[in-house]
Amino acid sequence: MTTELNIAANARNASNADELLSFDRVSKVYPTNDGAVSALEDVNLAVHRQQFISIVGRSGCGKSTLLKLVAGLYPASAGTISIDGRVVTEPVENLGMVFQTPVLLAWRTVLSNIMLPVEIRRLPDRDSYLETARRLIKMVGLEGYENRFPKELSGGMQQRVSICRALICNPPLLLMDEPFGALDALTRDEMSLELLKLWSETKKTILFVTHSVEEAVLMSDRVIVMSPRPGRVSLDLPIELPRPRSNETRYVSTFTDYTHLLRERIYEGSSMTG
């Protein structure tokens, strides 16, 4: 199966794209009362512009830590992370982040929640950002809900708002940490397709953490498998399924081949077989 999927095609996928994000021998060690815990070790990875990259692996393998290091929320213990050629040494300002829960302000409307980053950063030309916000709202299917409050929205709708908020300042890179993990299965499938549509229209570079192998295969150009702690890149698999993708993509035989291969690598050496 490995030969059929041609893992080595990785380099071919990225050959015509510029590198936006790079990890060079990155490690992260957390001090604890019981001694140092190594979360990541010797991570080397290149992410190219406009790529949709998913990161999968067992719980505790450092997937979320990886995103926090990219955002500059934590310093790396060793190695360097660079965004557009600049080494990350502090919190990165022009970066979009989406978490598992929407984290919307209850007293602000949909539109004002989306505009929050513009206000915090005191960006000029507010009218231009308002126009962008309304365009994003239309893109995610929330037109007519601009003046609604979070409590009036479903979980999926709230997460759409959080994605719009992450995109309002036009960041080159979008970090998404299990953004659909709290949603029911049907809404999660719907949101995956919505994100695919949004990505196809904005062509943002996305680093997407998920526990769902099917979700990763459906959306990604590449899927990165992290080994159990300390997390290392165990597999960098190009997903060579034609775009645009839809629910029907899940029923293509190659889709199943990809999911089987990824599960085998995730649970390698474990009694679990996915």
Max intra-chain CA distance, the chain? 57
pTM above 0.75, yes or no: yes
The pLDDT value recorded for residue 93 is 87
Report pLDDT digits (tens) over 5-43.
554 444 444 444 589 999 999 999 998 888 889 999 999
pLDDT band at 92 (very low <50, low <70, confident <90, very high): very high
SS3 label, residue 241: coil
Which residues, in sequence order, are CB contacts of 180 under 8 Å at separation 6+? 159, 187, 188, 191, 192, 210, 212, 215
Q: Give per-residue pLDDT as tens, 226-265.
A: 999 999 999 999 999 999 999 999 999 999 999 999 999 9
Q: Yes or no: say if 109 and 165 are a contact pair by the CB < 8 Å rule.
A: no
Q: What is the pLDDT of residues 106-147, one digit of tens each?
A: 999 999 999 999 999 998 999 999 999 999 999 999 999 999
Domain boundaries along the sequence of the chain: 2-95+173-266, 107-170
Q: What is the pLDDT of residues 187-233, one digit of tens each?
A: 999 999 999 999 999 999 999 999 999 999 999 999 999 999 999 99
3-class SS at 188? helix
Kindly state the average pLDDT of the residues 94-102: 91
Domain 2-95+173-266 has CATH 3.40.50.300: yes
